C-alpha cells in the first residue's frame, strides 16, 4: 500500500483528520494499491505534470480537439442516450456534424450501454421505441434553412419522439441547404414520414437518394421548384419507399416519365398525385402511373402539362378508384379527350371534378362526363369559354347525383342556362356563379321551370347584369334557401330583394350583400322582421344607403346574430349605441371600418359590447382617436381589434 499524506507542498499544516488511515478516505485503484486523499480543495492544475529531479514540471495542455474524427466517431457511438448526444452536439459545429453523420443503427445498442448504466435496463427498450415513432414536425424557411440547422434537427429530435415531418421553404443564399443537410436528416431521422422541399435549387438527386436509402417509412413527398432533382432521385424514392401514398411535383424541370413509371410500379399504396408545370411529363408517364395504381389512386391533380387526349382516355378507363379529379390549363386536350374520358366507364367513384382554363371542354364533352360519372357530387368549371346554356343543362340532367355547382368566368352562360340548371338539378344544394358576364336580366320571358326544393346555398357574385327580375324569380324557384351571397350586384334594389325574402320558407341564416349600393334600410328592416329568428351572419359592407334605422331593426329582431359587417355604411354613434342596448344581441364579430360618422362617443357602447365581442374592425374610422383605440385595447383584452 502507498500513502500520500498531506504535506507542505499540497496541504500546508498537515492532516486535519484524527485518524488519517480511516478506510472511508481511501479511493480504490484496483487490487494492488489504494490511494489516500485528504478531502481538502487544492489549487487547480491547468495541465498534466510529471515529477523530475528539479520538481514538478507542467506540460502543455492537450485539447480533445486534437483527436481525429475517427476517434470522436467511436466515442460518440457509445453515448448512452439522446440527451448526451444533444449536449455534445452543442459543443462545436464539428461535433454536431460528426453526430449528425452517425446513423441510428450505428449507435451502441442498449445492451452495450447497460454495462455502463445498468439502471436503464428497464426503460431502455421504451426509450428506443419512443425515438422511432416520428411525432415531431420541423419547418425551415428562408435564411433559417441551412445545413447546420438540419444537422441540429437530426440530432435534437432523436430523443424527443423522432422527426416525422420536415418542411424546407427557400434557402439561405450564402449557406443554404444542400445534399449534406438531407444526408444528416437521413442518418438521424429514419422515422421521417413527410418531406416537403420548396424552392431549394441546391438539393439534387444525391440528397434525395440519401432520404430514400434510410427513410423507408416516407409516406408523403412534396417537391416544388427543385430543378436539380431528376428522375434518378424519384426512382430511388420509388424503389426504397414502398409506403409512399402522396406525391406532389411542381415546376421540377428535370422530372419526367421515367420517374412516374417507377412510382407506379414500386409504390402500390399511392393514393394522391399532383403534377404541375413539369415539362418533361407526358402521356407515357401519366398512362404508366395510372394503369399501375388504378385500384388505390383516389386523388389526381394535373396542371400546366403537355399531355393530350391520350391521358384523359387513360383516366377514363383506369381511374376506377378516383374520387377527386382536377384538370387545369391543359392546352393540348380537345373535345375528343373529354368525350372519351366520360365514355370510358372508369370514373364510377368520382365525386369531385374541377376543370379550369381547358379550351377543349365543350357541350358534347361535358355531357359525356355527366353521364359517365354517376356519383359526381361537386363540379367546378372556371374560364371555359365554349360551354353554353344547352351544355350546362344537359350536364345537370345527366349528373343525377350533383349537389354542388360552381361556374366562374363562363361568359356564354345566360339566365336560360342558369335557371335551367336549377330546375333540372334535382339534388342541387349549393350553386355559385362568379363573374359570368352573360348572366343578366333578359326582356324575353323565361319558360316555366319547376322549383328547386333542395337548394340551400346560392351565390351570385360580381355578375353586373343580374338584377331585380332574376332575383324575384329566384324567390319562387328556391324556397328553401338559407345562405345567399349577392356581393357586387349593383343592379339589385329593395324591389328585387323583397320578393326573395317573402318566399324563403326555411329562414335565412347567412346573408352577404357587400357592394349592393342600392339597397336601403327598408330591405334590412324587412329581412330582420321576416328572418331575424334565424339570421347568424349579415354583411352590408359598402351599402351606403343603410343607416342607423337598419341597425335599430337588427337589434330588435335578430337574437342569434353573431357576425355583423356595416363597413362603409351611413351609420353614426346612435346606431352603435342601439346595438349595445339590445340585451338579446350577442355579437362576436363587428366590422365598421370606413364609417366617418362614428366617433369617440361610441366608446361606452363598444366597451359594453366587448363582453361578447371577439373581433372588432375600426379601420379608417377617422373620427375615432388613437387614445380611444388604446382604451378599447386595454379594456377589451379578449377582443382582436383592427384599427
**Tens digits of residue pLDDT in 336-365:** 999 999 999 999 999 999 999 999 999 999
State the Cα–Cα distance between residues 457 and 448, nearest whole angstrom: 22
Q: pTM, whole model, 2 decimals?
A: 0.80
Phi-psi region of 130 (alpha: psi -120 to 50; beta: other; left: phi over 0): alpha
For residue 323, pLDDT over 70 is answered with yes
Confidence label for 176 from pLDDT (cuts 50, 70 and 90): confident
pLDDT tier, 116 (very low <50, low <70, confident <90, very high otherwise): very low
Backbone φ and ψ of 190, nearest 5°: -70, -15
* Average pLDDT of the residues in 213-217: 93
Strands 220-224 and 194-198: parallel
Chain centroid to CA 120: 40
For residues 308 and 336, the answer to whether their CB atoms sit within 8 Å is no
Predicted confidence (pLDDT) per residue in 33-55, tens digit: 444 444 444 444 445 555 555 55
SS3 content of the chain, % helix, strand, coil (to 5): 35, 15, 45
Q: Please compute the mean of the pLDDT values over residues 555-578 and round it to a whole number.
A: 95
CB 27 within 8 A of CB 34: yes
- State the average pLDDT over residues 608-621: 93
User: How far is CA 641 from its chain centroid?
Assistant: 26
Crossing angle of helices 147-156 and 82-89, rounded to 10°: 160
Question: Once rounded to an integer, what is the mean pLDDT over residues 131-142?
Answer: 73
**CA 517, CA 493: separation in Å to the nearest integer?**
8
Closest CA to 512 of 579, 606, 434: 434
> Residue 146: its pLDDT value, please?
84
Q: Are 78 and 112 in contact (CB under 8 A)?
A: yes
CB neighbour burial string for 99-113, b if at least 16 within 10 angstroms, e if fewer: bbbbebeebeebeeb
CA-wise closest residue to 431 among 414, 454, 411, 409: 454
How far from the centroid of its chain's Cα atoms is residue 275's Cα? 18
Q: Are 326 and 358 in contact (CB under 8 A)?
A: no
Domain boundaries, the chain: 388-443+452-506, 507-642
Fold agreement (388-443+452-506, 507-642): yes
- β-bridge pairing 55-58 and 49-52: antiparallel
Tell me what pLDDT residue 582 has. Answer: 86
Lowest mean pLDDT among 58-67, 373-382, 451-460: 58-67
End-to-end C-alpha distance for the chain, whole angstroms = 84
Does pLDDT of 106 surpass 90? Answer: no
Q: What is the dihedral of CA 602, 604, 605, 610, to 10 degrees?
A: 120
What distance in Å separates the CA atoms of residue 483 and residue 511, rounded to the nearest whole number?
A: 6
* Record: fold of 507-642: 3.80.10
Question: In a 3-state reduction of DSSP, which class is residue 22?
Answer: coil
Cell representation of residue 291: 394503369
Q: How confident is the model at residue 409 (pLDDT cuts 50, 70, 90)?
A: very high
Among 57-61, 85-89, 176-180, 498-502, the minimum mean pLDDT is found in: 57-61
Question: What average pLDDT score do residues 194-219 get?
Answer: 94
Q: Express each pLDDT in 368-389 by its tens digit.
A: 999 999 999 999 999 999 999 9
Contact by Cβ (8 Å): 369, 395: yes
Q: Which fold has domain 388-443+452-506?
A: 3.80.10
DSSP 43-101: PPP-S-EEEETTEEEEPPP--GGGS-HHHHHHHHHT--SHHHHHHHHTT-HHHHHHHHT
Query: What Cα–Cα distance (Å) separates residue 33 from each residue in 21, 30, 277?
Result: 14, 6, 77
The pLDDT score that the predictor gives to residue 256 is 96
pLDDT at 50: 52
Q: Which residue has the higher pLDDT, 542 or 67?
A: 542
pLDDT value of residue 28: 42
Instruction: Flag whether pLDDT at 174 surpasses 90.
Output: no
Amino acid at each position: 500500500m502507498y500513502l500520500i499524506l498531506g504535506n507542505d507542498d499540497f496541504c500546508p499544516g498537515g492532516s486535519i483528520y484524527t485518524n488519517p488511515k480511516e478506510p472511508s478516505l481511501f479511493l480504490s485503484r484496483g487490487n494492488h494499491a489504494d490511494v489516500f486523499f485528504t478531502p481538502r480543495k487544492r489549487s487547480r492544475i491547468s495541465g498534466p505534470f510529471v515529477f523530475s529531479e528539479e520538481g514538478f514540471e507542467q506540460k502543455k495542455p492537450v485539447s480533445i480537439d486534437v483527436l481525429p474524427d475517427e476517434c470522436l466517431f467511436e466515442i460518440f457511438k457509445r453515448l448512452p442516450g439522446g440527451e448526451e448526444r444533444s449536449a455534445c452536439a452543442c459543443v462545436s459545429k464539428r461535433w454536431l456534424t460528426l453526430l449528425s453523420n452517425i446513423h441510428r443503427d450505428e449507435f451502441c445498442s442498449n445492451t452495450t450501454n447497460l454495462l455502463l448504466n445498468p439502471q436503464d435496463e428497464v426503460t431502455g427498450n421504451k426509450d428506443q421505441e419512443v425515438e422511432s415513432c416520428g411525432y415531431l414536425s420541423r419547418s425551415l424557411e428562408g435564411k433559417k434553412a441551412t445545413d447546420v440547422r438540419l444537422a441540429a434537427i437530426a440530432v435534437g429530435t432523436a430523443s424527443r419522439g423522432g422527426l416525422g415531418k420536415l418542411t424546407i421553404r427557400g434557402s439561405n443564399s450564402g449557406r443554404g441547404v444542400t445534399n449534406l443537410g438531407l444526408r444528416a436528416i437521413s442518418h438521424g431521422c429514419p422515422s421521417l414520414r413527410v418531406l416537403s422541399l420548396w424552392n431549394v435549387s441546391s438539393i439534387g438527386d444525391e440528397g434525395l437518394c440519401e432520404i430514400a436509402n434510410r427513410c423507408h417509412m416516407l409516406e408523403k413527398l412534396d417537391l416544388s421548384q427543385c430543378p436539380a432533382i431528376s428522375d434518378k432521385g424519384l426512382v430511388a424514392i420509388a424503389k426504397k419507399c414502398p409506403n409512399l401514398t402522396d406525391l406532389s411535383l411542381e415546376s421540377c424541370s428535370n422530372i419526367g416519365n421515367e420517374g412516374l413509371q417507377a412510382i407506379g410500379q414500386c409504390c402500390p399504396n399511392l393514393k394522391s398525385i399532383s403534377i404541375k408545370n413539369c415539362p418533361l411529363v407526358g402521356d407515357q408517364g401519366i398512362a404508366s402511373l395510372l394503369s399501375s395504381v388504378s385500384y388505390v389512386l383516389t386523388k389526381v391533380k394535373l396542371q400546366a402539362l403537355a399531355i393530350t387526349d391520350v391521358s384523359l382516355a387513360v383516366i377514363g378507363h383506369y381511374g376506377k378508384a378516383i374520387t377527386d379529379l382536377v384538370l387545369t390549363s391543359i392546352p393540348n386536350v380537345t373535345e375528343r379527350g373529354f368525350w372519351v374520358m366520360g365514355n370510358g366507364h372508369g370514373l364510377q367513384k368520382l365525386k369531385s371534378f374541377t376543370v379550369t382554363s381547358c379550351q377543349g371542354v365543350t357541350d358534347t364533352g361535358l355531357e359525356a362526363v355527366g353521364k359517365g360519372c354517376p356519383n359526381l357530387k361537386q363540379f367546378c368549371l372556371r374560364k371555359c369559354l365554349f360551354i353554353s346554356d344547352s351544355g350546362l343543362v344537359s350536364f345537370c340532367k345527366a349528373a343525377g347525383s350533383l349537389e354542388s355547382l360552381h361556374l366562374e368566368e363562363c361568359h356564354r352562360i345566360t339566365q336560360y342556362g342558369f335557371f335551367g340548371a336549377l330546375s333540372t338539378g334535382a339534388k342541387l344544394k349549393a350553386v355559385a356563379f362568379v363573374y359570368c358576364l352573360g348572366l343578366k336580366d333578359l326582356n324575353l320571358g323565361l319558360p316555366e321551370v319547376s322549383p328547386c326544393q333542395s337548394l340551400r346555398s346560392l351565390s351570385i357574385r360580381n355578375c353586373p347584369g343580374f338584377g331585380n327580375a332574376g332575383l324575384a324569380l329566384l324567390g319562387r324557384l328556391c324556397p328553401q334557401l338559407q345562405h345567399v351571397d349577392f356581393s357586387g350586384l349593383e343592379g339589385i334594389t329593395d324591389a328585387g330583394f323583397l320578393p326573395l325574402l317573402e318566399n324563403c320558407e326555411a329562414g335565412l341564416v347567412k346573408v352577404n350583400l357587400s357592394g349592393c349600393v342600392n339597397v336601403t334600410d327598408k330591405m334590412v328592416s324587412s329581412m330582420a322582421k321576416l328572418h331575424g329568428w334565424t339570421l347568424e351572419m349579415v354583411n352590408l359592407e359598402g351599402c351606403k344607403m343603410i343607416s342607423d334605422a337598419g341597425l335599430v331593426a337588427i337589434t330588435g329582431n335578430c337574437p342569434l346574430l353573431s357576425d355583423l359587417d356595416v363597413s362603409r355604411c351611413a351609420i353614426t354613434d346612435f346606431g352603435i349605441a342601439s346595438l349595445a342596448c339590445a340585451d338579446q344581441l350577442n355579437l362576436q364579430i363587428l366590422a365598421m371600418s370606413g364609417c366617418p360618422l362614428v366617433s369617440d362617443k361610441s366608446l361606452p357602447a363598444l366597451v359594453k359590447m366587448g363582453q361578447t365581442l371577439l373581433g372588432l374592425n375600426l379601420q379608417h374610422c377617422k373620427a375615432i382617436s388613437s387614445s380611444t383605440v388604446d382604451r378599447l385595447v386595454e379594456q377589451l383584452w379578449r377582443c382582436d381589434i383592427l384599427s
